[in-house]
Amino acid sequence: MGADKDSRLVHTVEVTAVNRRYGRSDYLPCIAWGMKAREASCWPVGAVVDISGRIQSRKYTKLLAGQPTEKTAFEVSVINITRVK
């Protein structure tokens, strides 16, 4: 969990595993802010959660074998997150 200059703007990054076929998984970072971030930061690793939000993408450049390569990263901007009990 991190805090910006204004202590009311607290955020956390949770990583959600999305199971796929053949025993593979994708991991999506989920960014939450404010009270939802504070609450989620107290949950144990492996907690089952229900998330609603929007998927965002951004482009970045990574050096592969000395050559710049454009990549796309995906993340979820969390609107609501609750722990499933």
Q: How confident is the model at residue 12 (pLDDT cuts 50, 70, 90)?
A: low
Cβ atoms within 10 Å of 83's Cβ, excluding its own: 13
Question: What are the pLDDT digits (tens) for 26-85?
Answer: 888 888 888 888 888 888 988 888 999 999 999 999 999 999 999 999 999 999 999 997
Non-local CB neighbours of 74 within 8 Å, separated by 6+ positions: 28, 55, 56, 57
Q: Are 2 and 47 in contact (CB under 8 A)?
A: no
| The two three-digit tokens of residue 27, written as one number | 């991991």
The DSSP element (H or E) to which 37 belongs, if any, is: helix 34-40
User: Please, what is the Cα angle at 20 between 18 and 22, to 5 degrees?
Assistant: 145
pTM, rounded to two decimals: 0.67
| The two three-digit tokens of residue 2, written as one number | 């991190």
